[in-house]
Amino acid sequence: MKRSMLAGLAMAVLGVSFGFGAMAQSPPPKNDYADTKNWLCLPGRTDDACSADESATIIAADGTTTHEAFVRNPKAKIDCFYVYPTVSLEPTGNADMNAGPMEKSVVAQQFARFGAVCRTYAPLYRQVTLSALRAAIAGKPIPVDRELAYNDVLDAWNYYLAHFNRGRGVVLVGHSQGSGVLIALIKSEIDGKPVQRRLISAILMGSRLSVPAGGVVGGDFKSIPLCQSPSQTQCAIPYASFRANVPPPANSRFGKVPGVEMVAGCANPASLAGGSGELHAYLATRGSFLGTTQSRPWVKGKTIDTPFVSVPGMVTAECVSTDAGSYLAVATHGDANGPRVDDIGGDVVIAGKVQPDWGLHLIDANLAMGNLIDIVSAESKAYSSGR
């Protein structure tokens, strides 16, 4: 079985390619994914990362608030397998196998809500760390094992197939580094192979999946097209989000891919068939690494006590393809004179300055979470009917 990362992924972290320091001289021992401590999420557990409080407050344009409870479905008929983005704060080039607050927090932001429609699996893996990313950007790379993250996820995937899957359909979910790992996994282990029949979809947020210009399949994946309807299966939902009024700059980390007549694939979770649609966002009430920080309260005169908020009617999105790249253009429609906040946070800010090359990368998942849950629900029904 192929054990090395595919070309390009080896140096991809948070969607940006760069050189690292020398790789580890001897391969580290493999993880034992029979050990439940090596999983952030497993079905049936009540105290893991997927047990996070996902309740939300719905804030209407007129300032009316409604509490929305979250209900998990322990009898879901399909599985979801998640690979999280770059969050490790370990000082080394690769993370250890201890679940820290950052790993748990990102699961709460990006994956735990999928428990409403699928059984949730999320392995820990020895990802390339934020320390390695920062060191590389600063021109002072530190040693990194470039294949370790991929091989860990591959081992977890194979263990999942052998011991947990039992022939069920599965949705792959990833963001940023996690999406890069999943793209490599799909190319090597799923695309065109018998196990593809179990693939419901691959949700690849904050990614750069290549497809032919004007096409939906034939770039990175040979037989897995972009999803074009919620009832379609064996398809992919890639996107990278930018504000509609701040398109990707020339040095953007997303929106463009190498290759003649290749573009970055974009499937709009708010309208897979194309065009614009309303994003059903679940945004973090208070600032978090992968949440959003607001410049003023969500709604005047009210305190929000749920971890998430939903702002119906405020945010829309459309996949666009221009000279700037192919990306999900996100527009906000707030009322500056109304009681509800009129814009959302989520930009990458360094030293008080917004970094336009990152777009809304921090909230790729939050922006479309409600849409993605609806899509997976529809896909589950279609998959069950097809079988």
In a domain, 376, yes or no: yes
In a domain, 8, yes or no: no
Domain count along the chain: 1
Residue 200 neighbours by CB under 8 Å, 6+ apart = 78, 169, 170, 171, 233, 234, 376, 379, 380, 383
Which domain range does residue 271 map to? 36-386
What's the confidence (pLDDT) of residue 288? Answer: 52
What's the confidence (pLDDT) of residue 294? Answer: 57
What's the confidence (pLDDT) of residue 138? Answer: 87
What's the confidence (pLDDT) of residue 295? Answer: 56
In a domain, 15, yes or no: no
Cβ atoms within 10 A of the Cβ of 106, count?
27
What's the confidence (pLDDT) of residue 13? Answer: 38
In a domain, 114, yes or no: yes
What's the confidence (pLDDT) of residue 227? Answer: 98
CA distance 40 to 103: 8
| Polymer length in residues for the chain | 387
In order along its 387 residues, the chain shows pLDDT tens digits of 333 333 233 333 343 333 334 444 577 899 999 999 999 999 999 999 999 999 999 999 999 999 999 999 999 999 999 999 999 999 999 999 999 999 999 999 999 999 999 999 999 999 999 999 889 888 999 999 989 999 999 999 999 999 999 999 999 999 999 999 999 999 999 999 999 999 999 999 999 999 999 999 999 999 999 999 999 999 999 999 999 999 999 989 899 999 889 999 999 999 999 999 999 999 999 865 554 555 578 999 999 999 999 999 999 999 999 988 999 999 999 999 999 999 999 998 888 888 999 999 999 999 999 999 999 999 999 999 876
What's the confidence (pLDDT) of residue 25? Answer: 56
In a domain, 276, yes or no: yes
In a domain, 29, yes or no: no
In a domain, 350, yes or no: yes
What's the confidence (pLDDT) of residue 349? Answer: 85
In a domain, 23, yes or no: no
